[in-house]
Amino acid sequence: MDKKPVIGFILIGILLTIWMVTQTTQRRPVPPPDQQTQETLDLQDESLAADLGEDDDAFTSAEEDPTADYGDQLRAHAQGSAAMLTIESGLYRVVLNPKGGVFREWYLKEFENWQGDAVQLVPYKEETGVFGVSFSTREARNVDTRNLYFELEYPQKERSNHLQLRGGDSVRVRARLRLESGAELVKTYTFYADKYHIKARIGLNKLNDLIFNRSYTLAWESGLPYQERNSVEESSYAKALMQLGGEEISLDAGDFDKTLTEKSSGAIDFAAIKNKYFVAAVKPLDLSAESSVQLKGTRRKAPNEGVVEQYSLQYRIPYRQPQQEYDFLLYVGPLDYDIVQSYGLEKTVDFGWGPIRVVGEYFMLPIFQAVHAVVPNYGFSIIVFAFLIKLMLMPLSMPQTKSSIKMQLLAPEMNKLREQNKDDPRAQQQAMMQLYSQYGVNPVGGCLPLLLQMPILYALWSLFQSAIALRQTHFFGWITDLSVPDVLLALPFKLPLLGLNHISGLALIMGITLFIQQKMTVTDPRQKGIVYIMPFMFTILFSNFPAGLNLYYLVFNLLGIGQQVYMQKFSKNKMTLEDLKKMPKKEGWLQRKMQEAQSIAAEQGRSLPGQPYPTNPNKRKRKKKRRK
C-alpha cells in the first residue's frame, strides 16, 4: 500500500482537528461547583470606584473648589437605608439596591444554571451592582453614584418592599438622589410582567454646575456570570458588541490578563454583553449623535484550566441642558432569536460569519422552527430536520453518490491496470487516465458537490451550537442534554491536544456509520488506511460536540448510506459497467485540467500528489554502469 495518501489524510485530519478545537468547542475540565462558583464571582465582581463614604479626598475644600458644597451634599448620601426592593413576575425576579439605585440581582425564573439554580445575570458584591451612573466634577474628581444612597419611590411602599406582577401588569419605580440645593439625579424604571425588558429613564436636573465636561457615564460592568459547566466553551461565546447604523462591532478578549477596548460614537443602535445563551443589552431610545460607547474585555485563567472572560459597556451621554432626560431599553434575558429579533438585537445571536450567517439565520432556523412546531420533541425534531435537509441537498449529493458508484464499477478494471503496470508508475497513471476517459468518469467528480455543501453544513453546525432551545433538553437514555456532549464512556486520562476525557455515544455510533460509508466508497487499495483512520479521528473529534449536533450528523450519515445502498442494489436504473461505457462522454473542465497536469508531470518525470513517484529506468541503468 502506498503510504503517501494515508500520510496526507492523517495530516489533513490533524489540521482539521486543531482548527475545530481552537475555533469552536475545545473543552477542558472545570472546577467543582463550589470552587468554580466562588472563583467566578471573585473574578467577575470588581468594584471600579472608591467609596465616597471613606474617601476624604473625593472633594476639595471650599477654599479650593467653589463646588465643594455639592461635595458635602453628595457625601451626606454616603449612608442611608439598605432595604432592598424586589420586583417579581413569572419571568424574572429583580432586586433593586437603594445604594446606587442599581440592580443587585436579576434572576430568570424559567432557566437554570448547570448547578440547578435559577439563572442569575448580575455579578455583584454587597456594595456594588450594575447600571450605575458616574461623572467627574470640575476638579476631575470621579463620582460613582453606586456608592450613594437613593430614595426608592414605588406603589405600596409603606406596606411592602416586594412587588408582584401578573398577567399584563406593569409598575414604575423611581430611584431619586436629591441634593439640598434642589439638584437631583432620577432613575425611572418601568417593569413589565410578560416582558424580559424594562424601560429606564435617566434624568438630571440642575447638576450642570457640578458635572464636568458636560457628560456622564451609564455602565453595565463586570460582565455576565457564567451559567454552563464548561467555562472554556462558554468563554468561546462570551463577548461584548455594539451596533451602529446596522453595522456590528464586536470585542472578543483573546490574550490572558490583557484588557482590550473598543470605542465608537454616533448613531448607536445598541450595546450588549453576552455569554453562550444569555445577554444584557442596552438600547438607547432617543440618544443624540454626540453619545459614545466604550467596550472593555479581559480574559483570565480560572482553576483546573478554566477560563473566564469579563466584559463591560459604558455609554458616555452628553449633558447640555440643566434639565435633561434620556430613555433606554434594557433587555436582560435569553438569546432566543424570536425574542431578541423583536427588539432589533438579532446580531447578538451567533450564526457564524458572512454568508454562513445568512444561510443559518434566514434558511436553516426557519425550517427547524417549522419542524419543531409539528414535532414537539426536540430530539425527534432534529431527526426530521436532518431528513428534510438531506432531501434539499439531494441535487448536490446525487452527483457525489453517482461518482462514487462509477468509481466502484471501475475498481476491477483499475486493479487490473495497477497489476499490469506495477513496475511502471508512469504507464500506470497514463492507463488510468485513458480508462477514465473511455468510461467518462471524473475521479474527482464528487469533490465539487461536497464543497458546495460545506457552507450549509457549517451553518447547521453554528445553528445547533448556539440554539438555546436545545439547552438542558432531554432526549432519551443517556442523552440528557442536547446542548452538551452525551458522555457514554468516561476515560481515566486526557487525550493530548484535545483535553478530552470521555467518549460520546452518538459520536461513537456516527463513527461506525462513517466506517460503513468509507467501506462502501473507497475503492483504491492504496487508501485502505483511510477506512479506519477517518472514523476513529471523527469519533474522537465529535465527542466534543453537543449531542444535538451529533444526532443530526448521525441521521444524515444513515440517510447517506441508505441512498448509496438503494442506488447500488434496488434502483430500477441500476448502473453496470456496460451502461457506463455506453453513456455519452462529457469531459469536464476539472478533468481536462487533471489530464493536462498528468501529462506535464509525466514529461517532467514526477507525479501528482497522492500518486507514486515515477522512476526513470534509464537513470537507474546509468547508475548501475557507474558502479561497475
CA angle 396, 397, 402 (to 5 degrees): 115
Q: Are residues 181 and 290 in the same domain?
A: yes
Structural contact between residues 278 and 118, judged by C-beta atoms closer than 8 angstroms: no
pLDDT tens digit sequence for 582-604: 666 555 555 566 556 656 655 65
**What residues make up the domain containing 87?**
33-350
Torsion angle (degrees, nearest 10) of CA 250, 254, 255, 261: 10
Q: What confidence tens digit (pLDDT) does each residue in 547-585 have?
A: 999 999 999 889 988 888 887 777 666 666 666 666 665
What's the grid cell of residue 376?
414537539
> Greatest CA span in the chain, whole angstroms?
114
Give residue 504's pLDDT: 92
pLDDT tens for 333-366 read 999 999 999 999 999 999 888 888 998 999 999 9
- What pLDDT is attached to residue 592? 61
In this structure, are 312 and 423 located in the same domain? no
Of residues 605 and 219, more confidently modeled: 219
Predicted pLDDT of residue 298 = 94
Quote the CA–CA distance of 420 and 243 in Å, as a whole number: 66
pLDDT for residue 588: 54
Looking at residue 39, its pLDDT comes to 44
Per-residue pLDDT at 257 exceeds 80: yes
Domain shared by 195 and 181, yes or no? yes
181 domain-assigned: yes
585: which DSSP letter?
A: P
User: Looking at the domain assignment, is residue 543 inside a domain?
Assistant: no
Q: Does the pLDDT at position 62 exceed 60?
A: no
User: Rounded CA gap, 565 and 387, in Å?
Assistant: 17
Q: Give the distance from CA 514 to its chain's centroid.
A: 26
End-of-domain residue from the set 316, 350, 384:
350
Per-residue pLDDT at 370? 95
Least confident of 37-46, 62-71, 197-206: 37-46
- Of 273-282, 346-355, 373-382, 518-527, minimum mean pLDDT range: 518-527
Same domain, 355 and 309: no
Lowest mean pLDDT among 9-18, 83-92, 415-424, 455-464: 9-18
The residue among 300, 335, 350 that closes a domain is 350
Top-confidence range, 276-290, 379-393, 491-505: 379-393
Q: Per-residue pLDDT tens for 325-341?
A: 999 999 999 999 999 99
Output 99 or 608, whichever has higher pLDDT: 99
Asked if 167 and 257 sit in the same domain, the reply is: yes
Q: How far is CA 266 from CA 234, 244, 331, in A?
A: 31, 7, 21
Question: Residue 550: which H helix or E strand, with range?
Answer: helix 547-565
Are 59 and 167 in a shared domain? Answer: yes
Which one of 290, 322, 350 terminates a domain? 350
Q: Cα(53)–Cα(51) distance, rounded to whole angstroms?
A: 5
Domain count, the chain: 2
CATH assignment of the domain containing 216: 2.70.98.90
Whether residue 508 lies inside any domain: the answer is no
In a shared domain, residues 319 and 420: no
| pTM, full prediction | 0.79
CB atoms within 10 A of CB 357: 17
Name the band, by pLDDT with cuts 50, 70 and 90, for residue 524. low
Query: Nearest CA to 417 among 442, 399, 444, 438?
Result: 438
DSSP states of 250-290 as a string? EE---SBT--EEEEEESSEEEEEEE-SSEEEEEEESS--TT
What pLDDT score was predicted for residue 202?
A: 96
Stretch among 159-163, 206-210, 398-402, 466-470 having the lowest mean pLDDT: 398-402
Residue 146 lies in a domain: yes
- Residue 472 pLDDT level (bands cut at 50, 70, 90): very high
Residue 440 placed within a domain:
yes
Q: Are 340 and 299 within one domain? A: yes
Asked if the structure places residue 363 within a domain, the reply is yes
pLDDT score of 163: 95
What are the CA-CA distances from residue 96 to residues 130, 370, 587, 590 (Å)?
10, 40, 73, 67
* Contacts (Cβ under 8 Å, ≥6 apart) of 109: 90, 91, 92, 93, 118
Confidence label for 128 from pLDDT (cuts 50, 70 and 90)? confident
Higher local confidence (pLDDT), 536 or 428: 536
Which value, in Å, is the radius of gyration of the alpha carbons in the chain?
Answer: 32
Average pLDDT over residues 275-284: 95
Residue 376 CB neighbour total at 10 angstroms: 8
Task: Please give the pLDDT value at position 25.
Answer: 39
| C-alpha cell belonging to residue 185 | 439625579
Assigned C-alpha cell, 217: 457615564
Pairing of β 85-88 and β 162-164: parallel
Pairing of strands 162-164, 306-318: unpaired
> Which residues, at least 6 apart from 606, have a Cβ–Cβ distance to it below 8 Å?
613, 614
Q: Is 238 buried (19+), middle (13-18) or exposed (0-12) by CB count in 10 A? A: buried
Whether residue 31 is predicted with pLDDT greater than 70 in this model: the reply is: no
pLDDT of 209 strictly over 50: yes
Nine-digit cell string for 4: 503517501
- What letter represents residue 512's amino acid? I
Span of 74-78, 127-131, 151-155, 448-452 with lowest mean pLDDT: 448-452
For residue 425, is pLDDT > 90?
A: no
Tell me, yes or no, whether 322 and 365 share the same domain.
no
pLDDT at 70 over 80: no
- pLDDT above 80: residue 285: yes
Cα separations in angstroms, 320 against 135, 187, 543: 14, 18, 58
pLDDT above 60 for 250: yes
Question: E-strand spans in 79-196?
Answer: 85-88, 92-97, 102-112, 118-120, 132-136, 142-144, 151-153, 162-164, 170-178, 184-192
Please tell me which residue, 241 or 76, carries the higher pLDDT value: 241
pLDDT at 534: 85
Residue 92 lies in a domain: yes
Mean pLDDT of 429-436: 79
List strands edge to edge, sheet with 142-144: 142-144, 132-136, 215-220, 306-318, 292-302, 260-265
Alpha helices in 421-527 (DSSP H): 425-439, 447-466, 505-521
Tell me the C-alpha to C-alpha distance, in Å, between residue 33 and each of 108, 211, 230, 299, 338.
20, 45, 11, 21, 32
| Confidence category of residue 65, pLDDT binned at 50, 70, 90 | very low
Distance CA 170, CA 33 (A): 37
Residues 400 and 328 in one domain: no
pLDDT of residue 275: 94
- Mean pLDDT along residues 361-384: 94
Give every CB contact of residue 624 below 8 A, 6+ residues apart in sequence.
Answer: none
Q: 61 pLDDT exceeds 50?
A: no
At 385, is the pLDDT very low, low, confident or very high (cuts 50, 70, 90)? very high
Residue 297 shares a structural domain with residue 401:
no
Q: Are residues 368 and 284 located together in one domain of the fold?
A: no
Domain membership flag for residue 533: no
